[in-house]
Amino acid sequence: MPTMSPDRVREFTIDVPERSLDDLRDRLSRTRLPEYETVADSETGALDWTQGVPRAYVEDLVDYWASSYDWRAFEARMSAFPQFVTTVFDLDIHFLHVRSERPGALPLILTHGWPSSIVEPAEVIADLVDPPDASLPAFDVIAPSLPGFGFGGGPKSTGWSVDRTADAWSELMSRLGYPRYLAAGGDWGGRVTTSLGMRHPEQVTAIHTFTPYVPLRSETDDLTESELRAVADTRRFRQVGGGYSLLQSTRPQTIGYALVDSPVAQMSWIVEKFRDWTDCDGHPEDAVSRDRILDTVSLYWFTGTGASSARFYWENFPADRYEPVTVPTAITVFPADIERLPRRWVEARYRNVRYWNDAEKGGHFPMLEVPDLYVGELRSAFAQQF
């Protein structure tokens, strides 16, 4: 079993002081809301999201967050997982590290994106570490928080790019005693995972991602109808759905003032993505439970990482880097994800695709939306270790 260096890795416990919860409730009680959106359906009363998060839903969430949501229950659930902090490149990196009792368990580093957090890997760790069937592969799971996210440190200077993060993950895994390991993730976690495989192929056995970023092409004559729909959806997202990305990549400090000072601003900024990016029927809670959504929002709020997480965009834009990827690769495409491109386009960059599957359900947050399906995808992708 791998051993850690005790002088370089410290145990960590989530413990938000009660005064922070009191402060949140006080701020929520004094929320100043804008007027109602002008696109509501007066006949049916249905919520219309075309101008952003509807005020009626915000009012409902604010009331629930202040009076019913239980942060301490989230703390207790997370405390079941061993957590640590270690300093890499002068930055504190927070991570979950859950070992399987199964001999021969496969080490797996699982990286989240934005507006994600360790809430997502926490949803699938138990099944990955301790599968119900002895014939299924088991994993040692390492789930770090991206720089400037969650309970880790916030960078005090520039330079924390995707590549530097991948190098930090490489050092982290070496520090934990894993000379070879698997890597998985989506969104920014997919980019970090890809970079990790490209920059440290001597360590990375294989990677899995549900966001294989590749260039859009103008030639579409040879595509199937389903591929054409996916490309059209991707173009539409990049044209009208990327305002958050442009703002965070150009003025993260400016938006940060709102996100760190106003819990409702932080909540709305994130909740919109749970609606737009999930496999839901028009309401985010069709895909992810209200408590899981507020777990994520609360984590950003209590850690005050609205600005520092947004700055990850500033550090990494333009993000379009398409160098060839030769490490063995597994890819799952979720049908409601925001960017989906044809396999041929993907394989022009990812040169060693060993596994590909079009999932039946799920969007951009599969660990929360379809956790069992996501776990199954990792098992299928990594069962033979390629």
d(CA 301, CA 263): 6
H-only helix segments in the chain: 18-29, 55-67, 71-79, 119-129, 162-175, 188-199, 225-240, 243-250, 252-261, 263-276, 290-303, 306-316, 343-349, 366-369, 371-382
**pLDDT value for 6:** 44
- Whether 109 contacts 204, CB under 8 Å: no
> 């069962």: which residue's tokens?
383
- Whether 280 contacts 41, CB under 8 Å: no
Residue ranges of the domains in the chain? Answer: 9-27+52-382
In the predicted model, what is the mean pLDDT of residues 309-338? Answer: 94
- Token digits of residue 21: 């919860």
**Residue 157 pLDDT > 90, yes or no?**
yes
Question: What's the length of the chain?
Answer: 386
d(CA 258, CA 101): 45
**Residue 45 pLDDT > 80, yes or no?**
no
Report the side by side order of strands in the sheet with 139-144. 9-11, 83-88, 91-98, 139-144, 106-111, 181-185, 204-209, 329-333, 353-358
- CA-based end-to-end distance of the chain: 22
At CA 200, angle to CA 197 and CA 203, rounded to 5?
95
> 């049916």: which residue's tokens?
44
- Token digits of residue 290: 């209200």
CATH fold group of domain 9-27+52-382: Rossmann fold (3.40.50)
How many other CB atoms are found less than 10 A from the CB of residue 40?
16
CA-closest candidate to residue 88, choices 149, 150, 140, 152: 152
Average pLDDT, the chain: 95
Could you report the per-residue pLDDT of 102-114, keeping only the tens digit for each?
999 999 999 999 9
CA-closest candidate to residue 166, choices 139, 188, 198, 196: 196
In the predicted model, what is the mean pLDDT of residues 120-129? Answer: 98
d(CA 114, CA 89): 22
**Residue 121 pLDDT > 80, yes or no?**
yes
Element (H, E) at 205: strand 204-209
**pLDDT value for 384:** 67
Question: Exposure of 246 by Cβ count < 10 A (0-12 exposed, 13-18 middle, 19+ buried)?
Answer: exposed
Assign 1 a pLDDT band (cuts: 50, 70, 90): low
Encode burial over 299-318: b for 16+ CB neighbours within 10 A, e otherwise: bbbbbebbbbbbbbbebbee
- Whether 91 contacts 152, CB under 8 Å: yes
In the predicted model, what is the mean pLDDT of residues 365-372? Answer: 98
Could you report the per-residue pLDDT of 162-211, keeping only the tens digit for each?
999 999 999 999 999 999 999 999 999 999 999 999 999 999 999 999 99
Assign 41 a pLDDT band (cuts: 50, 70, 90): low
- 263-276 and 55-67 helices cross at what angle (nearest 10)? 120
